[in-house]
Chain A
Amino acid sequence: MTMPIAPPKIEPPSADKRWRLVDNTMRKHGYRPDALIEALHTMQECFGYLDEPGLKFVARSLRLPLSKVFGVATFYHFFTLKPKGRHTCVVCMGTACYIKGAQNILDEIEKTYGVKPGETTRDDALSVLTARCIGSCGLAAAVVVDGNILGKVTPAQTLEHLEKVVKT
């Protein structure tokens, strides 16, 4: 661990106040390089995804090469470099959900909305994602729509719910 040093004066990409939160996280860690993942978490929480100007801001603030910052941001599944749609649907693909037909749910969503996991519909209405396991195995098969977990769902129930959500 390096000693805390005077904070570098790096200008955030825009006047958006949310950058202050990202800066706070880095300051809390004394702008040490090990604050990288924490800073990326804050940035994604604030903006929904990681964009290039933001990654450059974090890289300069922590005195890290941009390549390293990109390397970390793309290594971990939790981070996304693409903006999400207005609604998100995360299909849990953990073992318990898989055994109970999660693949069929994904297939049906793909058929209906024409998007594969990791993609967003053209009208930006819906992003479809998969999760390794959301830890709600007792509720398999589970789907998370806009942060709400739907347990023990069938492909038909999922589609019905999505239709309601996406329309609003």
Chain B
Amino acid sequence: MTPEELRELAEKRRAQLKQPRCRLNVCLAAGCQSCAGDSVFKAIKQQIEARKLDGVQVRGVGCLGLCAEGPLVLVEPSGLLYQRVKPEDAGELLDALEGAPLKRLECPTDVPFFRAQKKIVLENAGVIDPENLEDYLAAKGYEGLIRALTDMTPADVIAEVTTSGLRGRGGGGYPTGLKWSTVAKSKGAKKYVICNGDEGDPGAFMDRAVLESDPHRVIEGMIIAAYAVGAQHGYAYIRAEYPLAVKRMQNAIKQAQKAGLLGDGILGTSFSFNMEVRLGAGAFVCGEETALIASIEGKRGQPRPRPPFPAESGLWGYPTLINNVETFANIPPILRHGGAWYAAIGTEKSKGTKVFALAGRVKNTGLIEVPMGITLREIIFDIGGGIPDGKKFKAVQTGGPSGGCIPEQYLDMPVDYDSLARVGSIMGSGGMIVMDETSCMVDVAKFFMDFCKAESCGKCVPCRAGTDQMHGILTKICNGEATLDDLALLERLCDVVKNTSLCGLGQTAPNPVLSTLKYFRDEYLAHIVDKRCPAGVCKIKAPAEVHA
């Protein structure tokens, strides 16, 4: 297809979408599907057919954000949002299209949860049908690719991405433009582009939501990246635990191939690129780029020392560009609006927006996208609606097992890569778990260490043996059996594992321990010295029981 044909198709679809009087968008992302969103969709469809309603349409869409109140239904063009909809509500919902909104199910949208967000990556989530290419085209999809392929040289594209100031959203925050230019400069008979959709972080579902809600956006980002660095083939490495994301991505790739957006001579130019999905198989370490590459090669996902970096020698020894799902999802709007537009959002050193998976002890759990620089307090108390059940905020955990727990005193800190690092945590991929007084911080540290111990690939000793030892000591502390010497040993182990492990998994594994030791040392001491758990989580035996 030529750019003109593609634009024509988009125009046609836009006209089509204007035709119905109104449309009900039912969220069919995994969160709402698991609370019977698909039955709601079917019930509404049946009702429309039974009543022979003209000009009323129902459509399955991606994530609408407020997962805690699902299934969600968005009505267009009124913008009304309904929550906790049941299949038997379908009739009433359709009755309400003509008259007053159905108060019983109405979800207020004039609240900070919706107003304080800024959607770039998620602009289409909940608005388009993720299984329909034309819907994506109608939402200006592939416009960024058209601009890149017809108006720009690969160097121009890299310059635009560099201007945007975009940093890798997988966790490290490495400047994307710099990474792309390194791969572009590398010499190799072939080059590869890989999308890291493994998302092994417990407590994170951003990548899943993007893949399920707007898969073409990720494909578009990958094609643009391939053009910029000169790659011919790509892989989207997605967790097998995300069957819906896998299905929608495979479906989108097929559609793109059919439309000539993937394959030989894309959009009538001389540029060729194709891609396929590869399934992850459940290994947190595969988030590490060299381990992920090994996994695509069909091997155990074990990392290898860098350099050489994948940019020079990656998949099968060829130069390889690896970016995370959200990073690629940021590319199309950057190409569409320009790098300067993107750079105007966010803070000086962290540009743009970030998608967070807000969960834990917070009222509005769900998927949010906010500009960088927003404070933790705004995220948790305004957007998140605060702590339920009248409990007190204790800490927020960011960055998963590689991150740390941030206490109350830093709630007014802006959220950006560098501020989070300063208080001993990281942005990570964007999981954000809120904890209240019912959580024991030693128990939380033990939870993460148990995770790292089990996920260590076993290749290097500090990580394999160190995390096991640390988990042992934390268990002793939780059981009320540890001494102050154990605590000293734990701190030494943190230092050794952090500084001598081969890859990011081991290097960051002590972070949850270090940050809880720093901010909640009194809880550790209560377990060790007073033999009690202040939060009442750990089952410490009373001294009498121990002696009996």
Contact = CB atoms under 8 A, between A and B. Distances in A.
B400 interface: yes
A137 B241 CA distance: 14
A95 B360 contact: yes
Contact of A99 (B204, B366, B439): B439
A49 interface: no
B431 interface: yes
B359 A140 contact: yes
Given A72-B299, A132-B451, A40 B30 contact: no
Nearest to B431: A95
B208 A138 contact: no
B448 to A, nearest CB: 8
Contact of B298 (A35, A137, A138): A35
A75 B447 CA distance: 21
A36 B294 CA distance: 12
B529 interface: no
A134 interface: yes
Contacts of A79: 281-282
Contacts of B80: none
B224 to A, nearest CB: 24
Interface in B278-320: 278-284, 295-301, 316
Interface in A86-109: 93-96, 98-100
Given A72-B298, A134-B241, A139-B31, A37 B360 contact: no
A77 B300 CA distance: 11
A21 B326 CA distance: 33
Contacts of B130: none
A34 B296 contact: yes
Interface in A47-63: 62
Contacts of A133: 200-205
Given A38-B279, A76-B281, A140-B365, A135 B298 contact: no
A35 B316 CA distance: 14
Nearest to A150: B34
A154 interface: no
B240 A78 contact: yes
B361 A99 contact: yes
Given A41-B281, A137-B357, A96 B34 contact: no
A149 B31 CA distance: 9
Which of A36, A72, A77, A99 gathers the greatest number of chain B CB atoms within 10 Å? A99
Contact of A137 (B203, B284, B455, B457): B203
A33 interface: yes
A3 interface: no
Contact of B67 (A32, A78, A136): A136
Given A72-B298, A79-B281, A137 B205 contact: yes
A151 interface: yes
Interface residues of B, number: 53
Nearest to A90: B241
Contact of A95 (B34, B202, B298, B367): B202
A1 interface: yes
A33 B359 contact: no
Nearest to A138: B67
B435 A99 contact: yes
Contacts of B361: 99-100
Given A133-B201, A137-B203, A78 B447 contact: no
B281 to A, nearest CB: 3
A98 B367 CA distance: 19
Contacts of B360: 95-96, 99-100, 137, 140
B35 interface: yes
A78 B366 contact: no
B281 A136 contact: no
A153 B281 CA distance: 27
A131 interface: yes
Contact of B241 (A78, A99, A140, A148): A78
A95 B282 contact: no
A95 B447 contact: yes
A38 B208 CA distance: 20
B242 interface: yes
A94 B282 CA distance: 13
16 contacts: A34-B296, A34-B297, A77-B283, A79-B281, A93-B202, A95-B359, A95-B360, A95-B400, A96-B359, A96-B365, A133-B201, A138-B66, A138-B359, A139-B34, A139-B67, A151-B34
Interface of A: 1, 32-38, 40-41, 62, 68, 71-72, 75-79, 93-96, 98-100, 131-140, 142, 148-149, 151
Given A72-B300, A95-B360, A98-B202, 20 more contacts: A32-B298, A33-B297, A34-B296, A34-B297, A37-B278, A37-B279, A40-B281, A41-B281, A72-B298, A75-B283, A76-B300, A78-B282, A95-B359, A96-B203, A96-B360, A133-B200, A134-B241, A136-B34, A138-B359, A140-B365
The 10 closest A-B pairs by CB, nearest first: A138-B67, A149-B34, A76-B281, A95-B203, A137-B359, A77-B282, A78-B282, A94-B202, A135-B205, A96-B359
